[in-house]
Amino acid sequence: MSNIKAYLVIVQIGKKPRHYLDESLEEITELARSCEREVVGFSKAVLPEPSPSHLIRKGKMEEVRTAAKAAGAKFLIFNVDLSPGQARNIETDCKITPVDRTGLILDIFAKRAQSREGKLQVELARLNYILPRLMGLGLKMSRLGGGIGTRGPGEQELEWDRRKIRKRIARVKDELEKVEKHRALIRLSRKKKHFTTVALVGYTNAGKSTLMNALTGAGAYVEDKLFATLDPMTRLQSVNGQSNILFIDTVGLIKDLPHGLVKAFHATLEEVTEADMLIHVLDAASPHAEQQKAAVDEVLQEINAAEKISVLVLNKADLLSDDEKRRAEGIWAHGMLISAKSSLGMNGLIVKLEGIIQDLRTASNHSPLADFGHSSS
């Protein structure tokens, strides 16, 4: 655990579900942990209307400042997004750097991106986030690698930094266009070779990479942290003798994923929109499984992938009691209880995938599955 300390500010604006504050605290704590921040305390606030200047009201702001200072916090992490003006005013009054939810997620993405494409996508999202916040957060182009909230230049340098950022945004967009064209060529080649693509989608930390490993032996990186996998991994695999199946492990999704991040990750999410079918991996052991499924469905809707043929797998069944398994099957009647970690239910899943692939091949002689390899049976 990093010794960089952070104090959490959990805000509820308007009417929300009864457990909203507790669930939001749990989520932002996990995000902070994934960003290697040590959580040293938190405050909660219910706001009928946010303060235009500081988000939270003066009395609560003083409470936060006092508690965060006493705990030695270097950052204030908010569970909602701040306007540039709010961030500037909070930092001025508290003398502690504020980081909002989008900024925190961007920092995690920046730490996890490994491929050139992933790094470009993260950089584009961060630059677009930073540009309107230069005045408030004192960010400097030369120090963007240090993460959101690093201190930088005086005001004389800000306009120069803005120009540099705008130019860099244009260059990154050009590079990503090349990436998208390259990916389009790869997908065309797959179709010519009659590959079938199966994209694994799901909420972050649902177990997609573990399932990828169980299906393909891919050796995908697995860690109990949010957004442990950022770059898509593709592996060719046979299923019961049928060859030419490409499994694609994609970036984990999260509720209220900022639109700018969805847009920035367009090239990666295209792997989902272009896939022949999806495996939706749901953490059935999570107390928030229903909300997590709804969040993933919302993103799939946004990228026009909601109508694709999909198999819902209720993962981590090894952590469920018999009563909990029955409850999960009652909620998601078409879901398949599995444990990618212990291999529970994996044979049934493979048979299910094989049947769908056969049905797709039968449905259309013009499908990419038309010349698919025959089952060994």
How does DSSP assign 68-108, residue by residue?
HHHTT-SEEEESS---HHHHHHHHHHHSSEEE-HHHHHHHH
pLDDT computed for residue 361 by the predictor:
66
**What share of the chain in percent tops pLDDT 70?**
80
Q: Which long-range contacts (CB under 8 A, 24 or more apart) does 212-219 make?
A: 212/247, 212/249, 213/340, 214/340, 214/341, 214/343, 214/346, 215/247, 215/346, 215/350, 216/247, 218/247, 218/249
Question: What DSSP designation does 372 have?
Answer: P
Name which of 278, 219, 227 is nearest 248 in CA terms.
278
Q: pLDDT higher for 322 or 358?
A: 322
pTM listed for this prediction = 0.78
Question: What DSSP designation does 203 have?
Answer: B
Residue range 87-93: mean pLDDT, rounded: 93
**Structural fold of domain 194-363:** Rossmann fold (3.40.50)
In the predicted structure, residue 1 carries a pLDDT above the cut 50:
no
Q: pLDDT higher for 115 or 26?
A: 26
Distance of CA 80 to the CA centre of its chain: 16
C-beta of residue 371 within 8 angstroms of C-beta of residue 192 = no
Which pLDDT band holds residue 157 (cuts at 50, 70, 90)? low
Residue range 17-35: mean pLDDT, rounded: 91
Q: Cα(208)–Cα(311) distance, rounded to whole angstroms?
A: 13
Per DSSP, the chain holds a count of helices (H) and strands (E) of: 13, 10
pLDDT computed for residue 22 by the predictor:
93
* Fold agreement between 5-99 and 194-363: yes
pLDDT computed for residue 180 by the predictor:
81
pLDDT computed for residue 119 by the predictor:
85
Specify the DSSP element, H or E, that contains 192.
helix 155-192
Residue range 201-222: mean pLDDT, rounded: 81
Q: pLDDT higher for 189 or 14?
A: 14
C-beta of residue 351 within 8 angstroms of C-beta of residue 215 = no
In the predicted structure, residue 231 carries a pLDDT above the cut 80:
no
In the predicted structure, residue 64 carries a pLDDT above the cut 90:
yes
In the predicted structure, residue 254 carries a pLDDT above the cut 50:
yes
In the predicted structure, residue 284 carries a pLDDT above the cut 90:
yes
Q: For 95-113, how does the pLDDT look when each residue is reduced to its tens digit (9 = 90+)?
A: 999 999 999 998 888 887 7
Q: What's the CATH code, domain 5-99?
A: 3.40.50.11060
pLDDT computed for residue 142 by the predictor:
42
Q: Cα(86)–Cα(145) distance, rounded to whole angstroms?
A: 23
pLDDT computed for residue 158 by the predictor:
67
pLDDT computed for residue 190 by the predictor:
77
C-alpha dihedral (191, 272, 319, 33), degrees to nearest 10:
130
Angle, CA 357 vertex, CA 197 and CA 332 arms, to 5°: 90
Residue 362 has a CB neighbour count (10 Å cut-off) of 11
pLDDT computed for residue 262 by the predictor:
74
Query: 24 exposed, middle or buried (CB, 10 Å; 0-12, 13-18, 19+)?
Result: buried
Distance of CA 263 to the CA centre of its chain: 13
Q: Cα(83)–Cα(101) distance, rounded to whole angstroms?
A: 12
Residue range 253-276: mean pLDDT, rounded: 77
Q: pLDDT higher for 258 or 76?
A: 76
Q: Cα(236)–Cα(335) distance, rounded to whole angstroms?
A: 25
Residue 339 has a CB neighbour count (10 Å cut-off) of 23
Q: Where are the domains of the chain?
A: 5-99, 108-175, 194-363
Which region holds residue 83: left if phi is over 0, alpha if psi is between -120 and 50, else beta? beta
Name residues whose C-beta falls within 8 Å of residue 143's C-beta, 6 or more positions apart in sequence.
150, 152
**What share of the chain in percent tops pLDDT 90?**
48
Distance of CA 75 to the CA centre of its chain: 22
Query: 288 exposed, middle or buried (CB, 10 Å; 0-12, 13-18, 19+)?
Result: middle
Residue range 310-319: mean pLDDT, rounded: 97
Which pLDDT band holds residue 374 (cuts at 50, 70, 90)? very low
